[in-house]
Structure 1
């Protein structure tokens, strides 16, 4: 009886190991397949003029992605500026002020709902609440849409990272006479600063390739994005969509693949940086 039990346990363990290995292999293979496909189609477009010239209307050669790249930086940076402060405050409230149970439960539930909400719904919401009243598509509207997507990611990561700080640090600071606010800001948040940065980078990675919200808010324009606050603003995700699906010209198809390769590299770089920072944080503790 014992031998049969041991045999079944070993067999089950072996099956789980094999299934896990196959799942990892499939996930890695799909990832490399996507990267290889994007690189194969997009590498031909990568030349200096591609990064220097702005995009141009359909049929005009020698277009680039300079304006879309700058516009993406403006929109993403604006989203980070709008989302990070309230998200950090929300995460601090969830982690450090547990006595506000009803408020925290509502906030946590809202964050969970927002994390599962399709990005196109966020785009429609900002379109009706910002674009329609102002009468303008704009990069700022795109930043607001991306900020809504970033907010729950940063807040929940902040809560988790602050929860990893040993409670003894809080007790020591309070015993030395520091107020609760100073303890939270100067001791707890400082100890978890790499984790907080990780949350911000994760949120940036989450929104870097979002297209649907920007189609309803920032739209696109073949000009430099200096009208960020009140004009349609060029950005890479919408450029990829327009060039890859709506243009009949092969040169623009190549430019779309090249822009997709740039976005892929940027997202991979953010994810690698996040892994490095989080690993250093774990080793530091």
Structure 2
């Protein structure tokens, strides 16, 4: 019995291979677009670097699309066009942030030292150099801590109710009011606490009054972030626990919350970072003080956003330097909170094989 071997037909090389731009083509195109943008902007008499950058961005997108169309075809060119637009938008978004950070560091580094971080403005004239931000930093930490102590339990319990128990008109009403509170301007929260706590109940200005306003702003963020994390917990875990006869409250406490704790803590830290820079509530309720007040429940306190506002309002060079240094401290504090949130999320993220 003889076997016949069919000849192997090799497809044309054009079917197996496709012409592609070299890997260095996008970078070279970007460099050429930057040079051309500077040349066109300078030749046209444009003095703004922003205008030069926009011209370079348009030249980069257009030139890369044309090159890709000629070499790789229209389908790949569309993909390159979308990718280049994403990169251009990303750079346009990052440049203002980087320039703001660079400018703040350059201006704030003039007076930012150990003395500035460990002294207050007590006895320092506004037109003279010196003084520090210790009283404001202490006030911010205490006010944010109190706001967190108020908001975290209420927000966590509200989210648990909405996810695990919430059914019917009450749950819909709670969801509606949480959505409304998410969009409340900070000045409105400050005015509410001012009218209720200080004018009606006749309490004095204090750090605690500012903390109550900050907690109003923080609470809906905590509820929403916790609610989304609890929804991501697989129902199979709840059902397995309930099938073993574990009560629902214990299932939530021992199964659901430990599973979602990474996301919950991350959302909480981001909410803390969101309220740390609020100015309007502390301007109305904390009132500001040049001395160190370690008791947030008695007497006026200061905070970093309020300190920046007051120093800039003084309108002289030493006050401007102190304002920039305090802004740098505030940015560093918010950045540290965001990095802490990312670290907790990575630490508590599910590990492969577990």
TM-score by length of structure 2 reads 0.74
**Alignment partner of 1:51: what SS?**
helix
Structure 1 residues 163 and 238: alpha-carbon distance in aligned structure 2, compared to 1, 3 A threshold: same
Residue aligning to 2:192: 125
- Asked if the contact 2:304–2:330 (Cα under 8 Å) also holds between the matched residues in 1, the reply is yes
- Asked if the contact 2:261–2:348 (Cα under 8 Å) also holds between the matched residues in 1, the reply is no
Q: Does 1:271 align with 2:332?
A: no
Q: Cα offset for 1:14?
A: 3.4
Match of 1:31 among 97, 102, 108: 97
Quote the Cα distance in structure 1 between the aligned partners of 2:329 and 2:117: 10
Q: Cα offset for 1:61?
A: 4.2
Residue aligning to 1:111: 178
Match of 1:260 among 327, 335, 342: 327
Quote the Cα distance in structure 2 between the aligned partners of 1:105 and 1:284: 36
Match of 1:216 among 279, 284, 288: 284
Tell me whether 39-48 or 7-16 shows the greater mean CA deviation.
Answer: 7-16
**Alignment partner of 2:110: what SS?**
helix
Residue aligning to 2:18: none
Quote the Cα distance in structure 1 between the aligned partners of 2:75 and 2:206: 60
Please list every run of 5 or more consecutive structure 2 residues that lacks an aligned counterpart in the other structure: 1-72
Match of 1:67 among 135, 139, 143: 135
Quote the Cα distance in structure 2 between the aligned partners of 1:9 and 1:136: 68
Q: CA RMSD in A?
A: 2.0
Quote the Cα distance in structure 1 between the aligned partners of 2:139 and 2:89: 38
Q: After the TM superposition, list the runs of 4 or more consecutive aligned residues in structure 1 that deviate by more than 6 angstroms.
A: none
Larger radius of gyration: 2
Q: Does 1:137 align with 2:205?
A: yes
Please list every run of 5 or more consecutive structure 1 residues that lacks an aligned counterpart in the other structure: 1-6
Residue aligning to 1:19: 85
Q: Cα offset for 1:283?
A: 4.4
Quote the Cα distance in structure 1 between the aligned partners of 2:176 and 2:255: 28
Equivalent residue pairs, number: 279
Quote the Cα distance in structure 2 between the aligned partners of 1:241 and 1:212: 10
CA deviation map 1:62-104 (0-9, x unaligned): 2101111111111000000011101000111111124x23222
Quote the Cα distance in structure 1 between the aligned partners of 2:308 and 2:102: 17
Residue aligning to 1:40: 106
Q: Cα offset for 1:131?
A: 2.1
Residue aligning to 2:309: 241
Quote the Cα distance in structure 1 between the aligned partners of 2:351 and 2:92: 33
